[in-house]
Amino acid sequence: MSIFVAVDQVDKVFPLTDGGEYVALKGIDLKIKKGEFVSFIGHSGCGKSTLLNMIAGLSLPTEGVITLEGQRIKRPGPDRMVVFQNYSLLPWRTVQENIALAVNSVMKDLPKAERQAIIDHHIDMVGLRPHADKPPAMLSGGQKQRVAIARALAIRPKLLLLDEPFGALDALTRGNLQEQLMKICEEHQVTVIMVTHDVDEAVLLSDRIIMLTNGPGSQIGQILDVDIPRPRKRMEVVEHPTYYVLRSEIIYFLNQQKRIKKLRAKKISVVSRHGLEKVNLDMGFVPLTACAPLAIAKEKGLFQKHGLDEVNLVRETSWRGIVDGITGGYLDAAQMPSGMPFWLTLGGHQNKLLPVVSAMTMTRNGNAITLDKRFYDQGIHTLNDFKKMLLGSPERQHRMGLVHPSSMHNLLLRYWLAAGGIDPDRDLSLQGIPPAQMIVDLQKGTIDGFCVGEPWNTRAAMERVGFTVATDLEIWSGHPGKVLGVRENWATAYPNTHIALVKALLEASQYCADPANEQEVRQIIAQREYLSTDMAYIQLGSASEPVCELDQPMREYAHHLFFGDGVNRPSRTEHLWHMTQLARWGHTPFPRNWVEIMERVCRVSVFSTAARELGILDVKYTTGSIQMFDGAVFTADDPISYLNNLQIKRDFSITDVILDSPRLAGAA
């Protein structure tokens, strides 16, 4: 379908009384198709109503153009009827007269009888026949809103604009009206734009949800497609597998906006002390067992020991938060999934190249693949069984959860599936879900399994909702799990801080790896500010313990590696493996200049300096090849022919990736 409404590079600036100006909206670009239901969502004052008013023609954009069917919108008109937030019924006219005013003034050319028929039809449509001769003051809020909707629809607008239509109604009335509205819109094929701040309402009603960032200078932060089939029922949409994904996506976005607002208000200053360029750091982490080194460094005072006096750990519920924190510049450093530094560097996030460097691998292992317990009961115990089941039931869309495209979970899961002859994109559908939500989704049956870090696999097994079908020990023992990541310009601006940070974390890793400290570490990370979970779910384990047993009890223990030979030093071969896998699945292009990119991202020198200063000199480094569970051996010799030789892969591209030369953080 062709473009119906086009918003093209629109800015809106309001003059202020003190002579200044307020930029409400900046660079809004949006195209709406005929028959689409689009919602604007955002915090109060984000300019969503302003945008709606501009489409209505009630105010004009300061810059840019808005068109309806190719015609520039210059003034309001009945083809873009608005349903205002507070109904805007004329109190001195009855229900019937209010609708008649609209119909009579817009459809002057029709004979009187026909106009009356239209009025009556719409009164009946919203079920207000018994109230037709009452003034609005005698109606309830929901009835008034129905009159407003009837009035708007009666004049057959090309575009219906709703400004928080159900904001002032109680939940029950709102629900009924939402369903009525959906029915009417579907019957009449109306194109609708709705402003709302109700997340559930947006998901229920919309085909697309436009999320606006906070003002001043609001922009479209993100656009969500709602793929829930119509007709939708209020009680049924919540059952749809993507409902909660969409919902949490919007809530995440809104929360993020709130945080950014807070951060904007906070004065950002750099405190330098002890010969370090910056000692006040905000460091992001996601509550997983693998965050132990960070928690220990904080709790045991290791940050202070190395001069980092003011380290603030920022708990993010998902890796999205880490990505936004690093790209937005409000996190100094973060615990990242091992693929994230390259993913960000190569433009995985919104196709923007953001050089990120990694100087330390913080943990290894600690991941596993969990499947729904019902598969176990059906006798599906291995990858091969799983494949047979998948190929045997093509009519059902099977879904698996993973935490982030750049995470080892995604790459491991895909590798594991592909090695078993399962195409992870065609035979399955993979969905990004925050780690803590996996078990809930598995329980509800919206996913059939997941690959995630501990404690979630252990917990799924202990709560008997899933079973561990494979652990990383089987797929790639000793794979990198989480790494330390900072922006390249940050590393350039604060080189000594970077080294101090690696020192503190390296020492913390050493502490975690000591079996004598196991109880204490488990206790600390079970606390509220970290995992906030039962200590029983937290298992550090060791690689020497037996691999997953499929016999009772169906549980396996994590076997995190925190410290030891070849554990912490960033490995070029491993990073190259990540690069190839990210390219294999089409997440990022493979850089033809990968050697150069590798040197930029993988900061072995920082690690070496830190290790030397700590006096850790006796740790061996493993270099060379990676041995995978399917017998394949990965070497750093020829990644491009490795990629070409893979059986299951997406169309990947090989390009020269030109990164900006490193700049100072202050100049960024």
Partner 1 sequence: MTANITNRKSNSLDWFDTFWKKQGSNIIPPVLGILGFLLIWQLFSSSGLTKLPGPLSIWTDERTRTLLLYPFYDLGGLDKGLFWQTLASLGRVAQGYSLAALIGISVGILVGTQPLINKALDPLFQFLRMVAPLAWVPIALVALQQNQPAAIFVIFITSVWPILINTAEGVRQIPDDYNNVAKVLQLSRKEYYLNILLPAALPYIFTGLRIAIGLAWLAIIAAEIVMSGIVGIGFFIWDAYQQNYVSEIILAVVYIGTVGLLLDRAVAYLQKVIAPTEQK
Q: Please, is 656 exposed, middle or buried when counting C-beta atoms within 10 Å of its C-beta (0-12, 13-18, 19+)?
A: exposed
583 touches partner 1 by CB under 8 A: no
117 touches partner 1 by CB under 8 A: no
Window 304-343: contact mask with partner 1 (x via CB under 8 A): ----------------------------------------
Stretch that binds partner 1, among 102-110, 332-340, 473-481, 524-532 (CB under 8 A): 102-110
Binding test (CB under 8 A) with partner 1, winner from 29, 74, 92, 391: 92
**Comparison of 133 and 630: residue with beta carbon closer to partner 1:** 133
Stretch that binds partner 1, among 10-18, 91-99, 440-448, 478-486 (CB under 8 A): 91-99
Task: Give the whole-angstrom CA distance, residue 341 versus residue 574.
Answer: 12
81 touches partner 1 by CB under 8 A: yes
Angle formed at CA 405 by CA 402 and CA 409, multiple of 5 degrees: 45
Binding test (CB under 8 A) with partner 1, winner from 3, 13, 23, 58: 58
Binding test (CB under 8 A) with partner 1, winner from 13, 101, 238, 616: 101
Stretch that binds partner 1, among 25-33, 78-86, 356-364, 441-449 (CB under 8 A): 78-86
Task: Give the whole-angstrom CA distance, residue 648 versus residue 121.
Answer: 58
Binding test (CB under 8 A) with partner 1, winner from 75, 112, 267, 528: 75
Q: What is the 3-class SS of 231-246, one letter each residue?
A: CCCHHHHCCCHHHHHH
662 touches partner 1 by CB under 8 A: no
CB of 137 to partner 1, least distance (A): 6
Residue 236, both tokens: 């049924």
105 touches partner 1 by CB under 8 A: yes
Three-state DSSP at 76 gives: coil
| Residue count, binding to partner 1 (CB under 8 A) | 23
CB of 96 to partner 1, least distance (A): 14
Binding test (CB under 8 A) with partner 1, winner from 19, 20, 91, 130: 91
Task: Give the whole-angstrom CA distance, residue 156 versus residue 139.
Answer: 24
Task: Give the whole-angstrom CA distance, residue 502 versus residue 132.
Answer: 74
Binding test (CB under 8 A) with partner 1, winner from 135, 421, 432, 662: 135
Q: What is the DSSP string of 461-526?
A: HHTTSEEEEEEHHHHHTT-EEEEEEEEHHHHHH-HHHHHHHHHHHHHHHHHHH-GGGHHHHHHHHH
Binding test (CB under 8 A) with partner 1, winner from 88, 248, 327, 431: 88
**Which residues, 508 to 527, sit near partner 1 by CB under 8 A?**
none
Task: Give the whole-angstrom CA distance, residue 46 versus residue 25.
Answer: 8
Q: What is the spatial order of strands in the sheet that 333-337 belongs to?
A: 310-315, 280-285, 333-337, 480-487, 356-364
Binding test (CB under 8 A) with partner 1, winner from 82, 95, 442, 505: 82
Task: Give the whole-angstrom CA distance, residue 309 versus residue 476.
Answer: 38
68 touches partner 1 by CB under 8 A: no
Task: Give the whole-angstrom CA distance, residue 292 versus residue 276.
Answer: 25
CB of 95 to partner 1, least distance (A): 14
CB of 151 to partner 1, least distance (A): 9
Stretch that binds partner 1, among 75-83, 226-234, 251-259, 459-467 (CB under 8 A): 75-83
Residue 569, both tokens: 């030093």
Q: What is the DSSP string of 493-508?
A: H-HHHHHHHHHHHHHH
Three-state DSSP at 149 gives: helix
Binding test (CB under 8 A) with partner 1, winner from 9, 71, 86, 523: 86
CB of 141 to partner 1, least distance (A): 12
Stretch that binds partner 1, among 81-89, 119-127, 225-233, 400-408 (CB under 8 A): 81-89
- Chain mean position to CA 640: 31
**Comparison of 110 and 419: residue with beta carbon closer to partner 1:** 110
Task: Give the whole-angstrom CA distance, residue 428 versus residue 266.
Answer: 45
Task: Give the whole-angstrom CA distance, residue 597 versus residue 545.
Answer: 38
110 touches partner 1 by CB under 8 A: no
Three-state DSSP at 120 gives: helix
Q: Please, is 543 exposed, middle or buried when counting C-beta atoms within 10 Å of its C-beta (0-12, 13-18, 19+)?
A: middle
Stretch that binds partner 1, among 9-17, 79-87, 452-460, 609-617 (CB under 8 A): 79-87
**Comparison of 80 and 603: residue with beta carbon closer to partner 1:** 80
**Comparison of 93 and 208: residue with beta carbon closer to partner 1:** 93
102 touches partner 1 by CB under 8 A: yes
Binding site for partner 1 (CB under 8 A): 56, 58, 75-78, 80-82, 84, 86, 88, 90-93, 101-102, 105-106, 135, 137, 155
